[in-house]
Amino acid sequence: MKKFYLFLFVPLIVGLVICHREEVGWIAVNSEPQGAAVYLDDSLTEEVTNCVLEDVPVGEHALKLTLDGYVDWDTLVEVEPESPTTITATMLPESDTTDTTDTIPPGTLLWKSAIGSYATTIVSVADVVYFSTYRSDSSNFLSAIDGNSGELKWQCEFSAEYLTLMMVDFQDRILALEHSDWWKAGNVIYFDLLSGNHSYLFNTAEIGAGNAQICGWAASNKNTTYWTWQTDTCGLYATGQENFSKVLGDCYTGGIGSPLIDDYSGAVYTSACLADTSGSIGCYFCKLSLDGCLLWIEPTSAARIGIFCIGPNGNLYGTEDGNRLVVKSPEDFSTVWSWGLPLHPSTIVLGEQSIYAVDDRSRICAVSYDGSGLLWTADISTHYPIVGDGEILYCITPVAVVALSGITGEVLWDYECSPADGSCPVLLDNGSLVFWAKDVDDLYHLRAIKTDSKGLANSSWPKYQADNRCSGCANF
């Protein structure tokens, strides 16, 4: 009798398995150079690039490539049923890992490199520094410099007067807006990180922005870049998604803010000064899905989105009513807590232990994450501080680079020079802080000084626009 029942149950179970088999697709994984190990959802596969991963369940998956001598490469991949997804990765070589700076005290100049004119933007990836220059009377350059030595890796000439809004996307390209009229619509150009080879992506007029002012952009790790623009209307546009162009409403003096991307929850945020149905003008904060569906739009007294950033649990950290630090829920923009500050913040950055707010009156303060109190206030004239690991703030002032303890607010050391106090420096993984300054001989240089940190703090928003890629993308 037992044998009879066993014989019946076996095909029944097999039938159930076949009936509930998952829909699958496949991923073609290519890399330059080839031979990289392939991880899918944190599990090492038996494949190396170039290869095809077959029978991958439909949905979103984490893909990582590793190769000796190169920086790990990772992305998120959306697999469609019975459909191929192709991924092409450019592996970046690691810098020499031999650290000869451990005995050098922080605040010491490591190298200085002449750049000819001032740098409009500086970004970094894997200890390589990328910057563009501005000269109205001649051609300009996008350059790559080795962050360990200051030596030039490559230089690419462009004919436009400006490169603005420079950002590194998640396809290992530098994106920039090329034009001769500050912030106005123009060509979007992209540069290869390794070679500097460049191509035109599109002209912003093609998105319906015409001669619009481009207000900002941010990259999603799903290989989509989001733009905001304004003419007499406010708009949001996404590259890499066909026909994605979202007009948010009639635009007034305040315009529209740069987008913020939260890849963790799949949302893009922006703010705009719009008219409601009665014709009344107000400032609104908007949340959209990454495919452009408006999830909610709520009024706010915040003057601009540049003051907001994404923090722990996806909460939104920003200001309202001039001097109130507020934490807003991502679900409905309701207030989690608020705290009155002794200043009017123009920038907020997030450390691992505290929130740091900076105003335009030479002050910076720290507030606890639970909103229980003001921790300290310091008189430092800076615009875009960076939080390094060890909870140390690095501030560019008109006369020096200053390192502050994020715990106490006291000055740890300073490096006297004449840096560009309105620029945002980069903090490399080797512990170097890179910024540009004008010397007493009126020559412009990039400088690198030793710090107490090895890279940015492990927080969602440790510097202006979140990370060294200046992506505006919070991953936590």
Helix ranges, 231-367 (H): none
pLDDT-based confidence at residue 353 (cuts at 50, 70, 90): very high
Where is pLDDT greater, at 197 or 450?
450
Dist. CA 181–CA 355, nearest whole Å: 36
Where is pLDDT greater, at 385 or 198?
385
Dist. CA 451–CA 431, nearest whole Å: 6
On the question of pLDDT at 11 being above 80, the answer is no
Coil/strand/helix, residue 71: coil
Ranges assigned E (strand) in 116-212: 119-125, 128-133, 140-146, 152-158, 162-168, 173-179, 187-192, 198-203
Alpha carbon separation from 5 to 17, 35, 274 (Å, rounded): 19, 51, 71
State the Rg of the chain over Cα. 24
Residues in the chain: 476
Least confident of 11-15, 157-161, 373-377: 11-15
Q: For residue range 257-296, what is the model confidence (pLDDT) as tens digits?
A: 788 999 888 899 988 777 666 666 677 888 988 888 889 9
On the question of pLDDT at 17 being above 60, the answer is no
Contact 239, 203 (CB under 8 A): no
Question: What domains, with CATH codes, occur in the chain?
Answer: 13-90 (2.60.40.10), 109-474 (2.130.10.10)
Ranges assigned E (strand) in 193-323: 198-203, 213-220, 224-230, 233-239, 245-256, 260-262, 267-275, 281-289, 294-299, 309-310, 316-320
Q: For residue range 89-137, what is the model confidence (pLDDT) as tens digits?
A: 888 887 644 455 567 899 999 998 887 776 777 888 888 999 887 765 6
Whole-model pTM: value is: 0.77
Q: Report the C-alpha dihedral over residues 231, 232, 233, 237, rounded to 10 degrees.
A: -10
Coil/strand/helix, residue 420: coil
DSSP bridge partners of 38: 65
Dist. CA 416–CA 340, nearest whole Å: 33
Supply φ then ψ for residue 207, to 5 degrees: -90, 5
Supply φ then ψ for residue 9, to 5 degrees: -75, -30
Which residues lie below 8 Å from residue 52, measured CB to CB, with a gap of 6+?
Answer: 26, 27, 28, 29
In Å, how far from its chain's centre is CA 377? 27
Q: For residue range 72-86, what is the model confidence (pLDDT) as tens digits?
A: 888 888 888 877 788
Where is pLDDT greater, at 89 or 182?
89
DSSP bridge partners of 213: 184, 230
Which residues lie below 8 Å from residue 376, measured CB to CB, with a gap of 6+?
Answer: 365, 366, 408, 409
Q: What is the pLDDT of residue 276?
A: 62
> Residue 19: is it exposed, middle or buried by C-beta count within 10 angstroms (0-12/13-18/19+)?
exposed
Dist. CA 72–CA 87, nearest whole Å: 15
Q: What is the pLDDT of residue 461?
A: 93
Query: Kind and range of the H or E element at 6?
Result: helix 2-19
Q: For residue range 26-63, what is the model confidence (pLDDT) as tens digits?
A: 898 998 899 999 999 888 999 999 999 988 998 888 89
Mean pLDDT of the chain: 81
Dist. CA 290–CA 198, nearest whole Å: 27
Percent with pLDDT over 90 in the chain: 26
Percent with pLDDT over 70 in the chain: 80
- Name residue 157's amino acid: E
pLDDT-based confidence at residue 250 (cuts at 50, 70, 90): low
In Å, how far from its chain's centre is CA 227? 13
- Tell me the mean pLDDT in the region 182-207: 75
Alpha carbon separation from 409 to 254, 292, 315, 339 (Å, rounded): 34, 42, 25, 19
Dist. CA 25–CA 21, nearest whole Å: 13
